[in-house]
Amino acid sequence: MSQVFSKSPKHCAKQQGLTIEKSYKKLFFACSAVFTSVLAFIFIIWLILHPSKPQFSLKEADIYQLNLSGPHLLNSSIQLTLLSKNPNKKVGIYYDELHAYASYKGQQITVDSSLPPFYQGHEESNLLTASLEGTGLPVAPSFGYEVGRDQTAGRIILNLKVNGKLRWKVGTWVSGKYRFNVNCISVMAFGPNTPTAPLSSYQGTQCSTAV
């Protein structure tokens, strides 16, 4: 007598469920492998290219106005010229949302001035100019005293700053945005016998850049 074995519907459903679960696991591992490979490829390209942060130097700074219109209100006018350089041979840089301003002893003495966005090619340099101004800006009560003390010492030191966002460009690939900050120190002659405005600085000094 021959025996006939039949599988119950419950057993078939269980087996089918295991097959689907295995398929999902295979798909998950395949996607993970592709994603990991893509990340590894991008990371290797990044290491090979190793983009250097842009370089900025102060070319000229002129103070046309820096005086108090009230006990603690400042009027200011400063003309700024910077040289921006992309040191990379294979990486371009997009600059976005650029703002420049001046500060004195930790106090902002001009409002933010917007600079137009631009693209900088490989090993390319660009001159950036900005008119920094302020009208009736509130300053600390000690501001007038500090400026007077600097005049007695024969010099005044300003921090000229640029903040913005940049994007790296490699071929047709463009990265996300990275915030960067530039700080340039300008030292100007400022004594009792110094000629009237503008006070000028022609240093060509390197600025610090943080990305």
User: In this structure, what CATH number is given to the domain that contains residue 175?
Assistant: 2.60.40
Could you tell me the two tokens for 136? 């009736």
Q: At residue 186, what are phi and psi to the nearest 5 degrees?
A: -115, 125
Q: Pick the residue with more confidence: 58 or 11? A: 58
Condensed to tens digits (0 to 9), the pLDDT of residues 66-98 reads 998 888 899 999 999 999 999 999 899 999 999
- In a domain? residue 10: no
- Assign 103 a pLDDT band (cuts: 50, 70, 90): very high
Range of the domain at 142: 55-210
pTM of the model: 0.76
Same domain, 206 and 130: yes
- In a domain? residue 62: yes
Q: Which of 65, 157, 180, 182 is nearest to 107 (CA)?
A: 157
Q: Residue 77: what residue type?
A: S
E strands in the chain: 55-68, 73-85, 92-104, 107-108, 113-115, 118-120, 125-138, 154-170, 173-174, 178-190, 199-201, 208-210
Percent of the chain with pLDDT over 90: 56
